[in-house]
Amino acid sequence: MRTRTFWLVAVLVGAAFFGLSLLAPNQYYFQAGYKVLQYVVLATAWNILGGYCGYVNFGSAAFFALGAYSTVALYKILPVPLPVLILIGGIVSGVVGLGMGYLTLRLRGAFFSIATLALAVVVQTLITNWDYVGGSRGAYIIRPMRVPILGHYIEYLYLIMVVLCVLAIGIARTIERSRLGYGFAAIRDDEQAAEAAGVPTLRLKLVATTLSGALMGMAGAPLPYYVTYLDPASGFNLAYAVNSIAMPLIGGMSSWLGPLIGALFLGSIQEYTTVAFSSSSGLNVLIVGVLLVSFVIVAPNGIVGLVESLRWRRR
Amino acid sequence: MGVSVDLLLSAIVAGILLGGFYAAVTVGVSISFGMLDIVNIAHPAFIILGSYIVYILNQTYGVDPILAAIVLLPVFYALGAAVYQIYYLVFERRGDEALRGLAFFFGLLFIIEVALILAFGVDYRFVSADYIGTTLHYGPIDLPLRMLIPFGMSIAMLATLQLYLSRTFIGRAIMAVSQDRQALQLMSANPARIKRIAFGISIATAALAGAFLIIIQPVEPSVGRDYIGRIFAICVLGGLGSFPGMLVAAILLGIVESITATFYGPSWAPAVAFGILLLTLAFRPSGIMGR
């Protein structure tokens, strides 16, 4: 499929998806759908660095929360429309991603992962001690009840998430088919060989950390409007870090399809258990952990890899 | 001014004691990450697991926490050996440890933590022993026994491990596998077996560290996460795989953290470890005593 056709199809699918959701009998479907779609964006963003370049980022929650907190900070200064906030959240997280890339350029493999973990805690401590955005007490956001045309505000948030999903997946697929994607794959397979062969590994890694960080920030920017009360414990919630790793790994990391499938699968399970067992996040994290461990042991290439190997066997 | 100097002095002493404890927490990762190249980020979870088992033994049978941990050592050794066996079969043999091995331990971390939360809830648990409330006073300096005893025990543990690694056959084989795996194979030793033993030992240290932890402070399941950063900060700062370097780094971190907590408030303390870690990784990846 050509790239332009893909974008067209992605937009159409997104529009159809949103159109179908409008038939939903009540607001809950938007509430739940938003959460799942938010994970699609996060997982796709993680996969740009983790799946394509092979660099495991443990600090997704930090980028996500930075996006959310830049919204909180701006909300207090002047009311800007949400799409602008998302853009700004993306820029903030993208810049931090670039900085992290610079700081950790020389680190490979596990050291990079540990550094991202460290970054997440440092950012969380800074936010917790920053009174302007509420500190550890948290901050309230008052959202309008309704928006023109769509009606309920949650439907507007949901629409925005659908658009972000289409955007993230489109970007991921474009990368896959471009020189950039081949460069990423070369880094993942053998960084030294890639560098020796003239791949500008340094620059490519910076592109990946920036892009991945920016998309995570964009996913996080609407969060304050969704929850209306944001504190560091929920913004930096571990569920974001765990899920953004588990979803691509369970779905499959080799293409844009994996994170999408993984996020829809895991996101729906978690939403289901939350409602069915009225559990706190504890049971959810346990399920994700068990699935993650069993998938990396039994099906190292995720659901996509599993399906592909079944197709091969049938031939 | 006098008060401030006293405060600084006692903060430093408290930091040294804390650092000794940090060394006990880190030694397991120093073995698994520093020597075996296994990025066991689930180590803090094993420590918390140790704390909880010690807690059960202490509360139901009245066993002394440290004695309980010593009884637990073989159990944790077996647990570690089993985990390594899975890790070896599934990841290391396939050459898949970098990404999926990391994810494996990441998943393990949450399974242990959440299983503990589901079993015990998020209440803080503590142990009781005669020495926990006692404090020795030397002028302005307080030496609480609940810090002093873990400090002494962890130094003893480090010394034992250092002796074991440098004097016994298996210990030297562990050092050898960390330096050159293939050469060891040529000496007709089985690297997987040596690594299994070493990983077993590294998890066994978590039992003792868990006992120290629950002596020093009340424990709830997610406490472990605070230690991931500290552990790897100390490990990297001290130079991978070196016990003396690690001890120095641990005490250094203990002092810095204790001073930060005393003068700037405890909410800044977690950032210290991670900040040091980030800076070390960025500017001096081989550690303060590295080559």
pLDDT tier at A19, thresholds 50, 70, 90:
confident
Regarding predicted confidence, which is higher, A175 or A148? A175
- pLDDT over 90 at A41, yes or no: yes
Q: What pLDDT sits at residue A39?
A: 94
Q: What is the pLDDT of residues B149-199, one digit of tens each?
A: 899 999 999 999 999 988 998 888 888 887 777 777 777 678 888 899 999
Average pLDDT over every residue of A168-180:
91
CA distance A253 to A45: 11
Chain B residues within 8 A (CB-CB) of chain A? 33, 39, 41, 86, 90-91, 94, 96, 98-100, 102-104, 106-111, 113-115, 117-118, 225, 228-229, 232-233, 236, 267-268, 270-271, 274-275, 277-278, 281-282, 285
**Number of Cβ atoms within 10 Å of the Cβ of B61:** 8
Q: What pLDDT sits at residue B192?
A: 86
User: How far out from the chain centre does Cα B118 lie?
Assistant: 24
Give me the half-sphere count of Cα atoms (radius 13 Å) on the Cβ side of residue A46.
34
Q: What percent of chain A has pLDDT over 70?
A: 97
Q: Distance of CA B168 to CAs A191, B128, B246, Å?
A: 39, 37, 21
Q: What pLDDT sits at residue A192?
A: 85
pLDDT tier at A169, thresholds 50, 70, 90:
very high
Contact call for A56 and B99, based on CB within 8 A: yes
Q: What pLDDT sits at residue B97?
A: 64
CA distance B34 to A288: 29
Listed in sequence order, the residues at least 6 apart from A59 whose beta carbon sits closer than 8 Å to its beta carbon are: A100, A116, A117, A119, A120, A123, A241
Whether the CA torsion A129, A123, A246, A294 is positive or negative: it is negative
CB A255 within 8 A of CB A176: yes
Q: Reduce the DSSP state of residue B36 to 3 states and report it.
A: coil
pLDDT tier at A26, thresholds 50, 70, 90:
confident
Contact call for A118 and B281, based on CB within 8 A: yes
pLDDT tier at A97, thresholds 50, 70, 90:
very high
Contact call for B100 and A246, based on CB within 8 A: no
CA distance A185 to A56: 14
- pLDDT over 80 at A204, yes or no: yes
CA distance B189 to A301: 33
Q: Is B241 left (phi over 0), alpha (psi -120 to 50) or beta?
A: left
pLDDT tier at B1, thresholds 50, 70, 90:
very low
The span from the first CA to the last CA of chain A, in angstroms, equals: 23
Q: What pLDDT sits at residue A278?
A: 63
Q: What pLDDT sits at residue A213?
A: 94
Q: What pLDDT sits at residue A279?
A: 60
pLDDT tier at A119, thresholds 50, 70, 90:
confident
Q: Is A149 left (phi over 0), alpha (psi -120 to 50) or beta?
A: left
CA distance B244 to A97: 35
- pLDDT over 90 at B211, yes or no: yes
How large is the C-alpha radius of gyration of chain A? Answer: 19
B143 DSSP β-pair partners: B136
CA distance B27 to B239: 12
B138 DSSP β-pair partners: B141
pLDDT tier at A315, thresholds 50, 70, 90:
low
Q: What pLDDT sits at residue A281?
A: 62
- Of A246, A43, A263, A40, the closest CA to residue B110 belongs to A246
Tokens 């629409």 identify what position? A159
- pLDDT over 90 at A311, yes or no: no
Helix (H) or strand (E) holding B103: helix B102-120
Q: Distance of CA B126 to CAs A177, A189, B21, B32, B73, Å?
A: 56, 48, 17, 28, 20
pTM over 0.90: no
- DSSP-assigned letters across all residues of chain A: --HHHHHHHHHHHHHHHHHHHTT-SSTHHHHHHHHHHHHHHHHHHHHHHHHHH----S-HHHHHHHHHHHHHHHHHH----HHHHHHHHHHHHHHHHHHHHHHTTT--THHHHHHHHHHHHHHHHHHHT-GGGTGGG-EE----SEETTTEEHHHHHHHHHHHHHHHHHHHHHHHHTSHHHHHHHHHHH-HHHHHHTT--HHHHHHHHHHHHHHHHHHHHTTHHHHHSEE-HHHHT-HHHHHHHHHHHHHH-SSSTHHHHHHHHHHHHHHHHHHHHS---HHHHHHHHHHHHHHHHHH-TTHHHHHHHHHHHHH-
Listed in sequence order, the residues at least 6 apart from B185 whose beta carbon sits closer than 8 Å to its beta carbon are: B191
CA distance A75 to A81: 10
pLDDT tier at A38, thresholds 50, 70, 90:
very high
- pLDDT over 90 at B227, yes or no: no
CA distance A37 to A164: 9
Chain B interface, mutation test: which of A52, A57, A105, A114, most B Cβ atoms within 10 Å? A114
Which chain A residues touch B106 with a CB distance below 8 Å?
58, 242, 245, 292
Which chain B residues touch A237 with a CB distance below 8 Å?
none
Regarding predicted confidence, which is higher, A299 or B154? B154
Q: Is A290 on the interface with B (CB under 8 A)?
A: yes
A151 DSSP β-pair partners: A147
Listed ranges A185-189, B98-102, B204-208; the one with the highest mean pLDDT: B204-208
Q: Measure in Å the smallest separation between the Cα of B278 and chain A Cα atoms.
A: 6
Q: What is the DSSP letter of B219?
A: B
- pLDDT over 60 at A219, yes or no: yes
Listed in sequence order, the residues at least 6 apart from A258 whose beta carbon sits closer than 8 Å to its beta carbon are: A47, A51, A248, A251, A252, A302, A303, A304
Q: What is the pLDDT of residues A223-248, one digit of tens each?
A: 988 888 888 888 888 788 888 999 99
pLDDT tier at B286, thresholds 50, 70, 90:
low
CB A289 within 8 A of CB B108: yes
Average pLDDT over every residue of A112-125:
83
- pLDDT over 80 at B43, yes or no: yes
Q: What is the pLDDT of residues B19-28, one digit of tens each?
A: 999 999 999 9
Average pLDDT over every residue of B107-121:
87
Please determine, for the modelled complex, whether the ipTM score is greater than 0.90: no
Average pLDDT over every residue of B82-92:
89
CA distance A119 to A55: 15
Average pLDDT over every residue of A203-231:
91
Tokens 């039992």 identify what position? B207
Which chain A residues touch B102 with a CB distance below 8 Å?
56, 110, 113
Tokens 């996020």 identify what position? A263
Q: What is the pLDDT of residues A7-17, one digit of tens each?
A: 888 888 888 87
**Number of Cβ atoms within 10 Å of the Cβ of B89:** 12
Residue-wise over A37-61: b if at least 16 C-beta within 10 A, else e? bbbbbbbbbbbbbbbbbbbbbbbbb
Tokens 């956001």 identify what position? A141
Q: What pLDDT sits at residue A215?
A: 95
Tokens 């998430």 identify what position? A161
Q: What is the DSSP letter of B42?
A: T
Mean pLDDT of chain A, nearest integer: 86
Helix (H) or strand (E) holding B83: helix B65-87
Among the residue ranges A251-260, A271-280, B51-60, the one predicted with the least confidence is A271-280
Q: What pLDDT sits at residue B291?
A: 45
Give me the half-sphere count of Cα atoms (radius 13 Å) on the Cβ side of residue A99.
11
- pLDDT over 80 at A47, yes or no: yes
Contact call for B98 and A54, based on CB within 8 A: yes
Average pLDDT over every residue of A145-150:
73
Backbone phi, then psi, for A98, in 5-degree steps? -60, -45
